[in-house]
Homo-oligomer: A and B are copies of this chain.
């Protein structure tokens, strides 16, 4: 029996509830995303506080990110992040090839437009966790293909990338743009991040 099932089902209910409780889901899409992100943020804060109460101090930011990829991710999703890359300048790309909160949606590109609301909570989760470890960050998500729960052979094509970076003055505009785009449902919420990731030289981190 999958241990994360109660969390997964509750998460789905939450999304349904928030979507349905708004009078005009189309126009309030962005606001709902923000609500979910904020809830994730507080859950992330609480979780990391509980998880790190007996751990040693982290030696640097990369150490924090490794903790997020291993312990934190395992606590919530019962698996580790599959791949962590960084440009060693504050940008981290975390890749989960079989992201549990999306695995109940059909594979393929059919429901790709629904993905943002299934990712917002997790973005907040990571941001909240990092925040309580003293790392201010902007966390965004990207899905190329849905990680359906069956067909494990082809999981490599299915990925979620989350990148977190230190929030400096120069990057603040990105954050603003991100929310601006998130508020427009017809528009890709994270175009900057995509291009940013594509254009940056990222190296893979091995434990």
A interface residues, Cβ below 8 angstroms from B: 1-7, 9-14, 17-18, 21, 35, 39, 42-43, 46-47, 50-51, 71, 75-76
| Distance between Cα atoms of A2 and B50 in the complex (Å) | 9
SS class, residues of chain A in contact with chain B: helix
Whether A75 lies near B6 (C-beta < 8 A) is: yes
Given contacts A10-B7, A14-B14, A47-B9, are A1 and B71 in contact (CB under 8 A)?
yes
Name A74's closest neighbour in chain B (CB-CB).
B1
Find chain B residues with CB under 8 A from A17 CB. 14, 18, 35, 39
> In the complex, what distance in Å separates the CA atom of A35 from the CA atom of B14?
11
* A202–chain B nearest beta-carbon distance, Å: 28
A5 to B77, CA, bound (A): 12
Q: Which residue of B lies closest to A13 (CB)?
A: B39
Query: In the bound complex, how far is the Cα of B91 from the Cα of A79, in angstroms?
Result: 40
What residue of chain B has the Cβ atom nearest to residue A21's Cβ? B21
CB-based closest 7 A-B pairs: A9-B43, A13-B39, A7-B7, A9-B46, A6-B76, A6-B7, A10-B10
**What would 24 A/B residue contacts be, using CB atoms closer than 8 Å?**
A1-B71, A2-B50, A3-B3, A3-B75, A4-B6, A5-B47, A5-B50, A5-B75, A6-B7, A6-B47, A7-B7, A7-B10, A9-B42, A9-B46, A9-B47, A10-B11, A10-B43, A12-B46, A13-B42, A13-B43, A14-B14, A14-B17, A17-B18, A21-B21
